[in-house]
Amino acid sequence: MDNKNVEKLFLKEMKGFLFYSKYIWPLHSKFIKKVISPRCKYCVISHNLSPLNDQGYCSTCAEILKNPESNSKINEADISKKKFLIEDLHEVLQKAIDKGTHRFDAAVLFSGGKDSSFLVHYLNKNYPKLRIVLLTIDNTFMSPFALKNINYMIQKFDLELVTIRPPASVFNKMFRYAFLNLNNKGCSGTVDQFDGDFFHDIGRNYAKDNNIPFLISGCSKTQVEHILGLNHFESPFEIESKKREQVAGIKLSNIFNSEELKLWGQGGSQGHIPRVIFPFYALDFEEQEILSKVVELGLMPPYSGNPLLTNNQLIPLMAIVDMIKFGYSSFEFEFCKMVRRGKADPTFWRNIFELSEYSAKTGNFISKTVDQSLKRLNLTRKDLQIPK
């Protein structure tokens, strides 16, 4: 199947999955309760990931409901911290203007999804003098929705775009190895970790090679904390100065040859490597707020802002593999935390997670996109214990 047909298949199947999860699954799920694991009434996390009490709440949500005043105090502390972080972020971005010695002050990682699209809008509106170049790293599994959004955005804002597309063979061997060597964090902490780290490292190298002093990423606060292990909007020099030698506990030399290893972050001395900034850690927008804004502002069509549509084509495979191996999605920690904080829609994610679990257990609704991904990675359903 050629790339064009693969893209059409992905679009058709993802639209069908989203339609079914929203309109049909709520009814369907009532008849197969024994197949689906219980989920927290509040944050929708799976019982398999966080056991529920007799009232149907996970321990975290039970504590929140038991001591709402305590949670209110935490929120007040978060609000105070957020205020100072935003002030610090503003100062950093303001000082970044004209900091570049050549054409650009900052390279902005741009995937074509709602977060990176809104980030470009935010920077363009609030720091119009900041000279930015959009940087897209094509992992060769990109969603056609994301690719269309990229083309639309560069025309809308009249910005320069640089697309870097390493050989498909590099991604094939990387993702194949990750799927076959999942750690205890599942696809989120292995497959997606490789993708994210590689994405950012190529950005680091590009900024460094082109004397661009800042690299700006649209990762959310939860992603920065959970995936990167940071508690600030800027990655510290101690991390940025080091050469990347492993990801998710896996040595890169186990997977890549000497030339391919050069694509990863090489580190460097202060003043010779970019400062890496995550504005959304400080701004901490709600997922639904960003989705509404990108549609309202005309940054992308209403249907294409959904993260499942703009994320890469390996998402369906990751969802199935996680459910088979762990009984829950490894992305639940991230999204359920956002639900608790009022940053994501619980109904949407409950339906998505439940339908994914049902598919993994029964083999129903496993898309042709999954088989296409497996074929490209030289894997079979049997290799990953996926039902036929």
Q: Do residue 115 and residue 225 come from a single domain?
A: yes
Same domain, 146 and 127: yes
Domain interval for residue 99 = 76-287
Judgement on whether residues 83 and 196 belong to the same structural domain of the protein: yes
Give the mean model confidence (pLDDT) for residues 127-138: 96
Domain tally, the chain: 2
Same domain for 234 and 157: yes
Predicted local distance difference test score (pLDDT) of residue 379: 97
pLDDT exceeds 60 at position 249: yes
Q: Which residues contact 4 (CB under 8 A, 6 or more apart)?
A: none
CATH of residue 123: 3.40.50
Considering the domain architecture, whether residues 362 and 247 belong to the same structural domain is answered as no
**What would the DSSP string read from start to end of 371-386?**
HHHHHHTT--TGGGT-
Q: Which segments within 13-67 are labelled E, that is strand?
A: none
For residue 179, being part of any structural domain is answered with: yes
Could you give the C-alpha distances from 22 to 17, 28, 280, 350, 355, in angstroms and in order?
9, 11, 28, 10, 10
Give the pair of three-digit tokens for residue 164.
């870097």
Q: Is 182 left (phi over 0), alpha (psi -120 to 50) or beta?
A: beta
Q: Does some domain include residue 303? A: no
Domain for residue 103, yes or no? yes
pTM: 0.89
Q: Are 95 and 226 in the same domain?
A: yes
- How do residues 308-357 score in pLDDT, each as one tens digit? 777 788 999 999 999 999 999 999 988 898 888 887 889 999 999 999 99
Name 181's Cβ contacts closer than 8 Å, sequence gap at least 6: 190, 250
Do 123 and 108 touch, CB atoms closer than 8 A?
yes
User: How many beta carbons lie within 10 A of that of residue 22, not counting itself?
Assistant: 14
Asked whether residue 111 is domain-assigned, the answer is yes
174-200 pLDDT, tens digit per residue, is 999 999 999 999 999 999 999 999 999
Cα distance between residue 329 and residue 44, in whole Å: 12
216 and 260 housed in the same domain: yes
Same domain, 137 and 46: no
| 175 & 237 share domain | yes
Q: How far apart are CA 294 and CA 305, in angstroms?
A: 7
Answer whether residue 297 is part of any domain.
no
- Same-domain status, 81 and 61: no
> What are 7-36's pLDDT values in tens digits?
677 778 888 888 999 999 999 999 998 899
Q: Which residue has the higher pLDDT, 368 or 7?
A: 368
Pick from 123, 101, 98: nearest CA to 110:
123
